[in-house]
Structure 1
């Protein structure tokens, strides 16, 4: 019994050390589910759009699907079209958004989708504070989200 407990303890300590060393090196966020980033986020602030309009249009990004090499496959909904992308969140607050594509439905109002697409492809930084995610580009443009699972 002692050998079994010692083995389990050793594995846990090694796992902890490996995770800490990857954080210290500024590597990508672990491919394992990261509850601080890998969740669904509802947009609550972006440019001059009213929060009520963002909620009405169901504006959100979904970062729950892990991909390879620390990347996260994402999906955004801004009106009636879905936007698909790959993202790589670094522990130093940097993010790389790539492989952006979308459905091409003709929506009654595409201003939010158009503005989001123009800004989103230039996003370079992120910050998670509590249940809030803020994405920014190098020109100071930002979008703020709240975790969908937050009560």
Structure 2
């Protein structure tokens, strides 16, 4: 009888653990709206004029991001790890044409999925990849 009860408890525990989904949450120090301030050869003035931003506040659902470079709304999935890695995937956007904004937007949407590391230093977030490309953001709520 003890063997049956032990087997039942073990089976129940195994099934319970198999159905648990671990949800990776955005680290607290990244849960902000971030303004893009350094990216490729684009000027900071252009990025500020366009209000180029990355939103990691998870307003719609966990592990989601939104972004805007001055024209189209971008969105997708983001997964952060405690070890400083990040993965952006399923990146999509609305499809409007905006004169003078398309170069920044096209470059950003192409490079964002290649970013694999993140670092938060004070009010700055830096995304980088293995090729040495970087995106630097400042917290939108920082004065």
- TM-score using structure 2 length: 0.78
* Distance in 1 separating the partners of 2:89 and 2:25: 18
- Taking the TM superposition and a 5 Å limit, the aligned residue runs for 1:44-63 are 44-63=37-56
Tell me how far 1:29 sits from its aligned partner: 5.5
**Which of 79, 85, 90 is matched with 2:81 structurally?**
90
Match of 2:5 in 1: none
Max Rg structure:
2
Structure 2 match to 1:73: 64
CA-CA distance at 1:138 after TM superposition:
1.2
Unaligned residue ranges in structure 1 (runs of 5+): 1-26
2:138 to 127, 146, 151: 146
Name the counterpart of 2:8: none
Determine whether 1:113 maps to 2:122: no
Q: Which runs of 5+ in 2 are unaligned?
A: 1-21
CA distance in 1, matches of 2:119, 2:132: 13
2:115 to 93, 107, 123: 123
Higher strand share: 1
Give the drift of 1:117: 1.1
Aligned length: 120
CA change 1:113–1:141 in 2 (3 A) is same
Runs of 4+ in 1 over 6 A off after TM superposition: none
Tell me how far apart the structure 2 counterparts of residues 115 and 30 of structure 1 sit (CA, whole Å). Answer: 27
Q: Is the 8 A contact 2:25 2:80 kept in 1?
A: no
Residues 106/131 of structure 1: CA separation in 2 closer, same or farther (3 Å cut): same
SS of structure 2 residue aligned to 1:64: coil
Q: Distance in 2 between matches of 1:39 and 1:28?
A: 19
